[in-house]
Amino acid sequence: MKRRVIFLLALSCPVLLFSCVSTKKFKASEARYADLAGKYASLQSKLDDCQRSLRDTASAFERSRNMNEERLEGLKQNNNTLLNQLKDLSVISNSQAESIKKSLDNIGAKDAYIQDLQSAIARKDSLNMALVMNLKGAIGNLDDKDINIKVEKGVVYIDISDKLLFESGSYDITARAKEVLGKVAKVLLNQPDIEFMVEGHTDTNPFKRGVLLDNWDLSVKRATAVTRVLQNDYGIPPAHITAAGRGEYLPVASNDTPEGRAANRRTRIVILPQLDQFFKLLEKK
């Protein structure tokens, strides 16, 4: 009887060991699957954001192109009308002929001018979109409530919540702020021709401390604090940076709620448009 029991136990041990090992491998596989599923969902969300931004840019460019084509078509119709009127004239003077020639030349120049503007706008929109994608990739998975990157009317804005940058009522940069600013600086350094403005913003709660007389003073000090980190710690050329304080006077939300006041306490980096490219188009050849 004892021999039979021993024999049965000997047979059952490998089965139990196999069961334990299989269960561990299964749980490890489940954890690996959950991790991959989370990463996939995060990547899918980023892809959706990129596709949505590209669609918005394409839609804006298409509207601009349609408007310019309508203007060009109007010019062509005026040209045809002028030519038809000339057919009805038996004799025109030399001065009239010269005037007509200049009018036709002007129409051709306007056509070329419109095409140059379309090319410049398309190039600028493409560069802005690439810059936004690079910034979002560098920033990573920070909460959208704490940092927001967007394009409005052809200008790139980077809004960073003050809770990421400063302690309450202070303009001393935190350690976490330097990490965030370092990621932004890495992208900006790859665009050596751009210039940008660092804007400080506050809520409407009254503030006065030491040499700071009000929220406007605080916003200026916070803007210059961020500027110095970008310059001294990350090598951004100071000639490319403008520091400005907006105080409480350019809110993005109502100051009547805690949530609104939190949204208004922010530092904004504005990528300044390169207007010299457009001024060159306006110069007479």
Model confidence at 26, pLDDT cuts 50, 70, 90, reads confident
The DSSP result for 67-82, as a single string, is: HHHHHHHHHHHHHHHH
Confidence check: pLDDT of 32 > 90: no
Confidence check: pLDDT of 81 > 80: no
Share of the chain above pLDDT 90, in %: 28
Burial bucket for residue 231 (CB in 10 Å: 0-12, 13-18, 19+): middle
**């913003």: which residue's tokens?**
201
E-strand stretches of the chain: 147-152, 155-161, 195-201, 241-247, 266-272
pLDDT at 78: 76
Model confidence at 121, pLDDT cuts 50, 70, 90, reads low
How many helices and strands in the chain, by DSSP H and E?
A: 7, 5
pLDDT at 213: 92
Q: Please give the Cα distance from 230 to 232 (Å, whole number).
A: 6
Quick check: helix, strand or coil at residue 187?
helix
Beta carbons of 192 and 274 less than 8 angstroms apart: no
Number of residues that this document lists for the chain: 285
* Token duo for residue 8: 């049965």
Model confidence at 46, pLDDT cuts 50, 70, 90, reads confident
Q: What dihedral angle (degrees, nearest 10) is formed by the CA atoms of 167, 171, 172, 173?
A: 80
pLDDT at 186: 87
Burial bucket for residue 22 (CB in 10 Å: 0-12, 13-18, 19+): exposed
Q: Please give the Cα distance from 178 to 229 (Å, whole number).
A: 7
Average pLDDT value for residue range 177-181? 88
Q: Which residue has the higher pLDDT, 236 or 94?
A: 236
The rounded Cα 4 to chain-centroid distance in angstroms is: 76
Quick check: helix, strand or coil at residue 89?
coil
pLDDT tens for each residue of 123-134? 556 565 666 776
pLDDT tens for each residue of 216-270? 999 999 999 999 999 999 999 999 999 999 999 999 999 999 999 999 999 999 9
Q: Which residue has the higher pLDDT, 175 or 16?
A: 175
pLDDT at 219: 96
Model confidence at 19, pLDDT cuts 50, 70, 90, reads low
pLDDT at 284: 47
